[in-house]
Structure 1
Amino acid sequence: MPYITISTVRGILDAAQKKALLERITDLMVEVEGQGSPDFRRNVWVRIEEQEPAHWSLGGTPLTSEIIAGTFGAIGADGVRVRRP
């Protein structure tokens, strides 16, 4: 029974990206560890852990919400990424 944890910075993935990541990681585990058995799917646990940007640094520079939004675009209250102009 695999337990997969994905650690990321809060604000990088929107709701659709999280859903796709959870589905594709599950599919990969079924293919590789479960040898393609559809019954194996119910045993695959996948979790996304999001930490605040201040808990991360990139190249020694602490991240901020503004850096994340400027790089990836902000995420609205509905969980959908707001497209940058």
Structure 2
Amino acid sequence: MPYVTISTVRGILDAAQKKALLDRVTDLLVEIEGQGNADFRRNVWVRIEEQDPSHWSLGGMQPTAEIIAGTFGTIGADGLRIARQKA
């Protein structure tokens, strides 16, 4: 029974991306560990763990909500990414 935890910075993935990630990781585990047996799916646990940007560092730089929004776009109240305006 596999348990997979994906750690990421809060604000990078929107709800649709999280669902796609959960589905695809599950599919991959069914294909590889479960050898394609569809019944294996009910044994697969996948968790996305999000932490505040202040809990992360990349090359000594801590991302901020503003940096994340500027890079990936803003997530709306519905949990989905708001399309960025093109210049």
Could you tell me how far apart the structure 1 residues matched to 2:62 and 2:39 are?
Answer: 43
Q: How does 1:1-85 map to 2 (within 5 A)?
A: 1-85=1-85
Structure 2 unpaired stretches of 5+? none
- The alignment partner of 1:13 has SS state of coil
Between the aligned partners of 1:79 and 1:58, the Cα distance in structure 2 is: 25
Q: For 1:48, what is the secondary structure of its paired residue?
A: strand
Aligned pair count reads 85
Question: Over aligned residue pairs, what C-alpha RMSD do you find?
Answer: 0.5
Provide the TM-score with structure 1 as the length reference.
0.98
Segments of 4+ moved more than 3 angstroms: none
Partner AA of 1:42 in structure 2: R
TM-score by length of 2: 0.96
Which has a greater percent of strand?
1
> What residue ranges of structure 1 are gaps of 5+ in the alignment?
none
Q: Displacement of 1:57 after TM fit?
A: 1.3
Give the whole-Å Cα distance in 2 for the aligned partners of 1:83 and 1:41: 33
